[in-house]
Amino acid sequence: MKSYLCAIGTANPPYAFPQQQIADFMAEALQLDKDDTRKLKALYRVSGIEQRHTALPDYGRQNGEYEFYPNTPGLEPFPTVGDRMQEYRKSALPLSVEAAQECLAQVPDMDVSQITHLITVSCTGMYAPGLDIELVEALGLPSQVQRTCIYFMGCYAAFNALKVADTICRADAHARVLIVCTELCTLHFQKQQQSDHLVSNSLFADGAAAVLVSPKPLSPLSLRVDAFHCDLAPSGHKDMAWHIHDFGFEMTLSSYVPALIKQGIGQLTQSLLQKLNLKLEEIDLFAIHPGGRKILEVIEEALGLTAKDNRHAYQVLRQFGNMSSATVLFVLHALWQELQPGRHEAPILSFAFGPGLTLESMLLSVHYV
């Protein structure tokens, strides 16, 4: 028995700001001098991002107009973890509901009473009773729906949610699994000038994505799940990480991450393709997590891909930035919009990366009823 991605819905908070406007906020918040401000703006210009969405209006405002951050020089007292989790709880539910409703609306004759399992994913907030229970109530799901929460796995967590859904669907012919990935990364801005923090502040954004997974196609177009493969690059253990500190979740994202991914992506791809006796030359559809522009470029170099092959990842990076676990689903959603019936059974190669350093891969196939 196989599993199928039957629909994907996406959502973003209402505030969207140009990348250079966010750079202005960061420069003032970090109290940078003219030379460091110029360097910061250069970093933002080469990020490949044009705009990002956020749950906080402050990133597009001047000091004196802030709602979340203190209207003081240096933003002191800086918001605590408790402050940030309060904002997460306020903003995560409506964003999640919007993504889930958009997803379910794409499936003909779909009724929420048919949902058997709910998987929620996030690395940017948590509380209990949590987002999963609030979604059951807000969407009107059955109270007996089976719930699984995947926390703190970072940008590759959607793959783990899809693996759980795939296992459920292979075991239960009546399963209908709703996955909701919700990330509010911008709540965790860190007021530090180390390069890791400057880079992460320039990349991360807010968004949610929802996927309906079933053991049979429920819509005219679906994506069949064919195989997964994951690996670890232990030498990158310290190069990408999340840590809970007093003033938010601190992201470590070193400049060595692209090189580590470049070293491991070839073997990861080969191991995945061997499971289905496929060759890389047979694939021309790609859904790669845009962890950053440089990451996309080194994957292209390692696998012989072009920027056109990677266009959906660049599109998502440009319009939305890096939304952690939700991002690769945004890329799949963008690819989905271009699919035509003539691509039936065409394979899709997908990657995502995160703390560990974890390398995740997946093969899907376009399926038309």
Would you say residue 314 lies in a domain?
yes
pTM beyond cutoff 0.85: yes
Would you say residue 30 lies in a domain?
no
| CATH number of the domain where residue 337 is located | 3.40.47.10
Helix (H) or strand (E) run with residue 1 in it: none
3-class secondary structure, 75: helix
Task: Please count the CA atoms within 13 angstroms of the CA of 187 that sit on its side-chain side.
Answer: 28
Would you say residue 294 lies in a domain?
yes
Would you say residue 282 lies in a domain?
yes
Quick one: pLDDT at residue 247?
Answer: 86
Quick one: pLDDT at residue 196?
Answer: 78
- In DSSP notation, 83-139 reads HHHHHHHHHHHHHHHHHHHHHHTTSTT--GGG--EEEEEESS---SS-HHHHHHHHH
For the chain, how many structural domains are there in total? 1
Quick one: pLDDT at residue 259?
Answer: 87
- Amino acid symbol at 160: N
Would you say residue 281 lies in a domain?
yes
Would you say residue 247 lies in a domain?
yes
268 closest CA partner among 330, 358, 347, 158: 358
CB 144 within 8 A of CB 126: no
Helix (H) or strand (E) run with residue 237 in it: none
Quick one: pLDDT at residue 356?
Answer: 83
Quick one: pLDDT at residue 243?
Answer: 78
Q: Which residues of the chain have pLDDT under 70?
A: 237, 239, 241
155 among known catalytic residues? yes
Would you say residue 340 lies in a domain?
yes
Would you say residue 61 lies in a domain?
no
CB 363 within 8 A of CB 224: no
- Hey, what are 97's tokens? 């509901």
Quick one: pLDDT at residue 237?
Answer: 66
- Amino acid symbol at 306: T
Helix (H) or strand (E) run with residue 230 in it: strand 221-232
Active-site residue among 155, 169, 181, 230? Answer: 155
CB 364 within 8 A of CB 213: no
Domain of 262, in residue numbers: 221-368
